[in-house]
Amino acid sequence: MGRSQTPGFHHTRPVSIAMRYLIALFLLAFTPLATAQNISGVTGPVVKDGHESAQYRTGYDLDTERFAHRWHYQKSINGDLRWRAVIAARETDNSDFDFNYVQAELLWELSDDEDTWKRALRFDARIRGDGRPGLFGAQWANEFPLSDTWTARISALTAVDIGNDADDGISLQTRGQIYTKISSGQKVGLELFNVYGDADDIADFEDQKHTLGPFVSFPVNDDWSLFTGVQIGLTEASSDTQLRLHITRGF
């Protein structure tokens, strides 16, 4: 799978342009979970054996004038599996720093190292604060080249609430990213986030949440890297402007 291979044996499975578009169209039909301050990311499907890192994320919503915060710690089990622990806090009417949720994640890479089309499944379990229901989620993450210089990521997510006051139905969301790396080591591109509502009651387009915006990420040194971006609302229900920052420390 992700890192298990026989030396000298190659079994690439090229993905045609037509297949990529079919995959993209399929994913746009499906996905969950957005807060006013979007500090989510577009999951990369590749698992590297020996990976270990920690990350702090923050986001600021110019409409609500509120911050959100998230801390990650993740480590690979092998070349196919990686777990991550997440804790999140947010600004509310009653507190500038209120516990939001804790979450456990498991990413399972389904592709081999030689594959052009990288793909993975991710499973999430979330416990929310303030007596809100918990959550189980699943994500299908994909990455493939668009050209010699540009790469695309597309993810489809689904989630269900569990526990007291749980909403019925399956929530749907998609995320997309295109990026290129430039000679200075920076990665620049665009990200798109789409929240549709429940599968059995898809909201009207203007009531859905769709945001789009640029980002740049770059290494600071061998251990530290930064990501910064802006998301602009595309529908009436979306926040107009959200600022985003991720700080990552590799080990």
Are residues 49 and 79 in contact, defined by beta-carbon separation less than 8 angstroms?
A: yes
| CATH code (residue 122) | 2.40.160.40
Spatial separation of the C-alpha atoms in residues 247 and 57, rounded to whole Å: 6
In a domain, 177, yes or no: yes
Give, as one character, the DSSP assignment of residue 207.
G
Q: 75: burial class by Cβ within 10 Å (0-12, 13-18, 19+)?
A: middle
Residue 184 belongs to domain spanning? 17-250
Query: Which pLDDT belongs to residue 93?
Result: 84
pLDDT at 200: 86
Provide the domain count of the chain.
1
> Is 11 part of any domain?
no
Identify whether 135 is part of a domain: yes
pTM for the model stands at 0.84
| Cα angle 58, 158, 176; round to 5 | 55
Tell whether 94 is covered by a domain. yes
DSSP single-letter state for residue 136: E
Q: Is residue 12 part of a domain?
A: no
Q: Could you tell me if residue 8 is inside a domain?
A: no
Check residue 168 and give its pLDDT. Answer: 85
For residue 5, tell me if it sits in a domain.
Answer: no
| pLDDT at 219 (0 to 100) | 93
pLDDT of residue 201: 85
pLDDT of residue 99: 95
Residue 1: what pLDDT? 57
Task: For residue 96, tell me if it sits in a domain.
Answer: yes
Q: For residue 95, what pLDDT is reported? A: 84
* pLDDT, one tens digit for every residue, the chain (251 residues): 554 443 333 333 444 444 444 444 344 333 334 345 789 999 999 999 999 999 999 999 999 999 999 999 999 999 999 999 999 999 988 888 899 999 999 999 999 999 999 999 999 999 999 999 999 999 999 999 999 999 999 999 999 999 988 888 999 999 999 999 998 789 999 999 999 999 888 889 999 999 999 999 999 999 999 999 999 999 999 999 999 999 999 99
